[in-house]
Amino acid sequence: MEQTPASLLKEFQTIFNSDDTPRYFFAPGRINLIGEHTDYNGGHVFPASISFGTYALAAKRNDNKLRFYSVNFPEKGVIECDLSNLDFKDQDNWANYPKGMIRAFLQDGFSITTGADILYYGNIPNGAGLSSSASIEMATGVILENLFNLTIDRVRMVQLGQKVENEYIGVNSGIMDQFAIGKGKKGHAILLDCQSLEYRYAPLDLENQVIIIINTNKRRELAGSKYNERRSECERALGDLQSELSITSLGELSIEQFEEHKHLIKNSTDMIRAKHAVYENQRTLAALEKLKENKLDDFGKLMNESHLSLQHDYEVTGIELDTIVETAWQQEGVLGARMTGAGFGGCAIAIVEKDHVDSFKQNIHDVYLNKIGYEPTFYVATIGDGAKEIENEGVFK
């Protein structure tokens, strides 16, 4: 489904029966290069915003009504509410994300003086684990910022997005997705310390390689409950370690400190979960150094190690992701491959030499179809900017 600014404008005016000229906004999706399940453990992550994302057209109204429409969910129709009642409602479905964001802004003291009509269109593959929900939240954040001339620090906006996810939607996620989407920068990945929120940009100078995203197309049904289970396991491990160590997160531990004190963790499952969190955090820091030194081969090896740790210690991969990643490792021209995001389905990423992309796709497709019974989907990741107001030109693929 290809959309243009003109086609979306027409849809906006028809759906909302309005001749207003809306303003255009975009918030990307994200991939994570390395540093998985480290954000809520106070460690580092290394994500980047991608060119797939959420487009939104928005115009202020003269009353207090909010009307939302998604081109992706036409069957849900226009979802309407009033600025004075932004409570979560099951039947409001996807529109709870923008509603939650507006409520979070109001609770934070920002002045949103009127209602608005907002049309959303997303081209992030559905359920792919590339953060379509955080993308809607951050698109809504930049709409509010610009329509109502608010002065809001971008990191605060990111935190409000996470708050919506945690307290309003009820998903106990970390801050990585909203941060990657809110602070993304074209051609760069972001090394973020999730404890202090200090961050720096690292240029991704891939000359002869591309990052390929491979979608397992597996539905991620159990993802939410398993995600929360992993969080609790890590929290318990941290509690055990705190009996002797004065730390506030697993991200504060070096590998040596962990190895020396891991006997304190009573439950063996909690121990391997914590092991992943500590080692993955150190791998992420090492990956930044490798990238700075332009040692992409070594960067790729760290990605591979990350996957193995997520497979065996954190246990969030599954046969679909493992089939893709293990097949990717065997292909010519592959520097590294791993799952990305929460896991349990969703997407993998691989750094592949340009010359080998065709055979890479073909071989993975064949092995996956044969073993899993349905096809994977491939996309080339382009690293674009974070959430912002955009011009109404170009093609929204």
Active site residues: 177
Name residues whose C-beta falls within 8 Å of residue 26's C-beta, 6 or more positions apart in sequence.
Answer: 53, 54, 55, 56, 139, 387, 388, 390
C-alpha–C-alpha distance, residues 334 and 331, integer Å: 6
Cβ distance to ligand GLA smaller for residue 36 or 270: 36
Cβ distance to ligand GLA smaller for residue 124 or 367: 124
Least Cβ distance, residue 128 to ligand GLA (angstroms): 11
Q: Are strands 79-82 and 377-380 parallel, antiparallel or unpaired?
A: unpaired
Least Cβ distance, residue 40 to ligand GLA (angstroms): 6
Six token digits for residue 47? 């994500």
Least Cβ distance, residue 208 to ligand GLA (angstroms): 28
Cβ distance to ligand GLA smaller for residue 145 or 280: 280
CA distances from 148 to 67, 158, 163, 385 (A): 16, 18, 21, 22
Backbone φ, ψ for residue 386 (5° rounding): -75, -175
Summarize as ranges the residues that interact with ligand GLA (CB under 6 A).
Answer: 36-37, 39-40, 173-174, 176-177, 341-342
Least Cβ distance, residue 176 to ligand GLA (angstroms): 4
Cβ distance to ligand GLA smaller for residue 116 or 214: 214
Sequence length of the chain is 397
Cβ distance to ligand GLA smaller for residue 40 or 258: 40
Least Cβ distance, residue 139 to ligand GLA (angstroms): 17
Six token digits for residue 290? 């490798």
